[in-house]
Amino acid sequence: MRRYKGTTAVLAALTITATLSGCGTGGSEGVTLKLVAADYGSTDANTSKKYWDALARAYEQKTPGVKIDVNVLSWKDVDREVAAMVERGEAPDLAQIGAYADYARAGKLYPVDNLVSVPTQANFLPLLRQAGEVERVQYGLPFGASTRMLFFNEELLDQAGAEPPADWDGLREAAAKLKAKDVKYPFALPLGSEESQAETMMWLLGGGGGYRDATGTAYQIDSPANVETMTWLKEKLVGAGLTGPVAPGELDRQQAFDAFVRGEVGMLNGHPTLMDTARKAGVKVGTVPLPGIDGKAKATLGVADWMMAFKQNGHRKEIGAFLDFVYNDKNVLDFSDRYDLLPVTVSASDAMEADSEHAALRPFLEELAGSELYPVGETSWARVSESVKKNIGRAVAPGGNPRAVLEDIARDARAAETSAG
């Protein structure tokens, strides 16, 4: 674990808070808390199970009578497995997964203010705390965050005589120069089924639109701004042969990231983990804010995963004390450091920003406060996201109709809202 400068006082205060919360677990003799968590690691060597096992043992040592049963599952399985557990009436006490809203609206989760101490709840970054709310009550505790920036291969751009883009025209010009130098993917555009809802949202924000309207109360997927954005992509980038040999609708994010690490990509939209991986592979990585139609995009995409506490087993006090421990600065920074994620608390973010070893992450931290997150508080979002993944690649395909595709997704969104009640 890297040492973060200037955190001594903060760590001391939060340690006292966590210790006091732990002392409140008297009468918890023999309680076992079941935790299901997602695996952020890519191999057995960096699996998240190592993090959670060490954290659980440390907590058990300071809190006699409380055991933490840890079950770490891959991201491909964890959401489905937790849903199956809940369906069987075997909900875990805690789940760290991708979405919380369905469980909150079904009345299965504890509100956060019934769980953790006031200092812990107040320490979440305001944007993320608000994103964890359903009808103004917080149920989701943010766990790991990231933002997106435009990544470029400095050597490839230099060889092509191209400049890092500040807007879409600059992006198209740089991509054309990269293509002229036979760069395999001048701009990698992953609109395949893996995570195209993220790539799409970044472009919609760059065009002045987005998934939701300005009030955040309704979907606007087929808005004129969004149609214009997807039309520009189809005609000016994809149609001009500037996105590489794989059709965007068939290119998944990991494929694009792997190609960037191999030095085959001039530019793409990426997150902090890719930056670290690419640099370790010898790629000289540059970053700039996401370009928009006439300058910097109005916002970048912010992403957070979620911790939630189920009511079923009735361990509210024990869960709350453990979460106070999970969210102290030492543990938040340890997890963020292992997986190149952004901290979700104010004090940990300040500590990371002040640490010169993390200078490369400062632009991502700066972008987080003004980023826009998925509408995760809406139960309709899961269906909308799936519709985007399934359909958006057709919008930029040869013969594709961006307006018609967005209208199809918009119909799915309306149906999802209706069924959600």
CA 62 to chain centre: 32
If you count DSSP H runs as helices and E runs as strands, how many of each does the chain have, helices first?
18, 14
Q: How far is CA 260 from CA 112, 156, 269, 371, in A?
A: 40, 11, 11, 24
**Quick check: 176 and 305 in contact, CB under 8 A?**
no
DSSP helix/strand/coil, 304 = strand
pLDDT for the residue 1: 38
Please write the tens of the pLDDT for every residue from 352-363: 999 998 888 899
Tell how strand 149-153 and strand 265-270 pair up: antiparallel
Please count the other Cβ atoms lying within 10 Å of the Cβ belonging to residue 195. 18
Q: Please report the DSSP string for 178-216 in residue order.
A: HHHTT-SEEE----STTTHHHHHHHHHHHTT--SB-TTS
Tell how strand 94-97 and strand 301-309 pair up: antiparallel
Q: What angle do the packed helices 224-232 and 402-420 form, to 10 degrees?
A: 140
pLDDT for the residue 214: 82
Tell me yes or no: is domain 149-299+380-420 CATH 3.40.50.10420. Answer: no
For tokens 């979405």, the residue is: 99
Instruction: State the alpha helices, DSSP H only, in 34-117.
Output: 48-62, 78-87, 101-105
pLDDT for the residue 382: 86
pLDDT for the residue 107: 97
List the Cα angle 120/31/84 in 5-degree steps.
80
Average pLDDT, the chain: 91
pLDDT for the residue 266: 98
Domain boundaries, the chain: 8-146+303-373, 149-299+380-420
Prediction pTM value: 0.84
From the list 305, 306, 297, the residue with the least C-alpha distance to 371 is 297
| Rounded distance between C-alpha atoms, residue 262 and residue 281, angstroms | 8
pLDDT for the residue 45: 86
Tell me yes or no: is domain 8-146+303-373 CATH 3.40.190.10. Answer: yes
Q: How far is CA 286 from CA 72, 150, 164, 365, 396, in A?
A: 34, 8, 8, 16, 27
Q: Sign of torsion, CA 343 347 349 355?
A: negative
pLDDT for the residue 7: 41
CA 93 to chain centre: 23
From the list 112, 81, 92, 72, the residue with the least C-alpha distance to 327 is 112
Please write the tens of the pLDDT for every residue from 32-55: 999 999 999 877 888 999 999 999
pLDDT for the residue 421: 64
Q: Residue 4 — pLDDT band, cuts 50, 70, 90?
A: very low
List the Cα angle 160/162/164 in 5-degree steps.
135
Res 11 pLDDT > 80: no
Q: Residue 216 — pLDDT band, cuts 50, 70, 90?
A: confident
Please write the tens of the pLDDT for every residue from 143-170: 999 999 999 999 999 999 999 999 999 9
Res 192 pLDDT > 60: yes
Topology agreement, domain 8-146+303-373 and domain 149-299+380-420: yes
Please write the tens of the pLDDT for every residue from 385-415: 999 999 999 999 999 999 999 999 999 999 9
Locate 22 and state its tokens: 């732990």
Query: Which residue type, as a one-letter code, is found at position 171?
Result: L
Tell how strand 265-270 and strand 185-187 pair up: parallel
Q: What angle do the packed helices 381-395 and 402-420 form, to 10 degrees?
A: 170
For tokens 């993917």, the residue is: 185
Q: Which of 66-75, 149-158, 268-277 has the lowest mean pLDDT?
A: 268-277
Q: Sign of torsion, CA 171 176 177 182?
A: positive
**Quick check: 163 and 227 in contact, CB under 8 A?**
no
pLDDT for the residue 418: 87
DSSP helix/strand/coil, 65 = coil
DSSP helix/strand/coil, 219 = strand
Locate 197 and state its tokens: 């809802």
